[in-house]
């Protein structure tokens, strides 16, 4: 199966007589990689062996279509097979995520009362010296104040979904009718607000973290 990047790109083209062999080799490579990954997924433990193999077949075929459609986007920064594995990994994970989070609702976060605010309102630090306890309280107050008053509703919703409910960014994007880059930016802006407010305490960031260890 060993080919140079150039050979892969050439052999996979429609007018190349080696195309069938190249496609077969690449598909075999992708299927093997996908099934190896699926075996690591504990959420798929309930599936029978043949079901996992069928799933890997389906995902590998779908990834192959994406790879062939995007050959011109390969920039040669890695081996072609690594780039192809990236596309297959992304496709497989995306499909599994979509199935897992299909019935999740962002509104449910508010309805059940599960919120970052409730969790962060719980007591911090115990039994240590008063100065450290006071500093911990100040940090906690800042975090709570920023989240409650400085974040936009969308930033807060994204933060709770990703950080508390562990919803993948790609799924939050789908639920909020936007794209993952925008969700990452929402979270980045929220983190920046938190960071800038925390730094007004004039405490070393490593020291702040140690207060909660």
Q: Give contact residues for other proteins (rule: CB under 8 A).
A: 29, 32-34, 36-37, 40, 75, 77-79, 81-83, 85-86, 88-90, 92-93, 116, 119-120, 122, 124, 139-140, 143, 162-164, 166, 168-170, 180-181, 184-185, 187-188, 191-192, 194-195, 198, 205, 208-209, 212-213
Residues 6+ apart with CB under 8 A from 11: 3, 18, 19, 21, 22
Nearer to other proteins by Cβ, of 8 and 83: the residue is: 83
CB of 130 to other proteins, least distance (A): 19
Nearer to other proteins by Cβ, of 16 and 89: the residue is: 89
CB of 54 to other proteins, least distance (A): 18
Nearer to other proteins by Cβ, of 50 and 75: the residue is: 75
CB of 198 to other proteins, least distance (A): 6
Distance CA 139, CA 46 (A): 44
Tell me if 101 sits within 8 A of 167, measured CB to CB.
yes
Q: Which among 112, 200, 109, 104 is positioned nearest to 150, based on CA atoms?
A: 200
In the chain, which ranges are E strands? none
Q: Which among 33, 35, 11 is positioned nearest to 24, based on CA atoms?
A: 11
Residues 6+ apart with CB under 8 A from 74: 5, 9, 80, 83
CB of 17 to other proteins, least distance (A): 25
Nearer to other proteins by Cβ, of 36 and 108: the residue is: 36
Give the pair of three-digit tokens for residue 76: 């040669």
Nearer to other proteins by Cβ, of 108 and 121: the residue is: 121
């Amino acid at each position: 199966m060993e080919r140079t990047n150039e050979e892969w790109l050439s052999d996979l083209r429609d007018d190349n007589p080696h195309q069938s062999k190249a496609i077969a080799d690449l598909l075999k490579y992708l299927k093997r990689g996908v099934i190896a990954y699926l075996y690591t997924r504990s959420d798929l433990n309930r599936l029978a062996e043949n079901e996992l193999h069928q799933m890997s077949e389906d995902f590998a075929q779908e990834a192959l279509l994406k790879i062939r459609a995007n050959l011109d986007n390969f920039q040669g920064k890695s081996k072609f097979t690594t780039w192809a594995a990236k596309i297959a990994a992304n496709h497989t994970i995306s499909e599994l995520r979509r199935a897992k989070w299909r019935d999740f609702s962002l509104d449910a976060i508010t309805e059940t009362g599960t919120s970052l605010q409730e969790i962060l309102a719980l007591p911090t630090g115990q039994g240590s010296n008063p100065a450290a306890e006071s500093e911990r309280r100040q940090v906690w107050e800042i975090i709570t104040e920023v989240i409650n008053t400085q974040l936009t509703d969308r930033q807060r919703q994204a933060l709770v979904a990703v950080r508390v409910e562990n919803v993948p960014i790609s799924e939050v994007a789908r639920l909020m009718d936007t794209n993952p880059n925008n969700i990452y930016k929402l979270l980045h802006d929220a983190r920046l607000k938190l960071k800038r407010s925390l730094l007004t305490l004039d405490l070393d960031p490593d020291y702040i973290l140690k207060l909660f260890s």
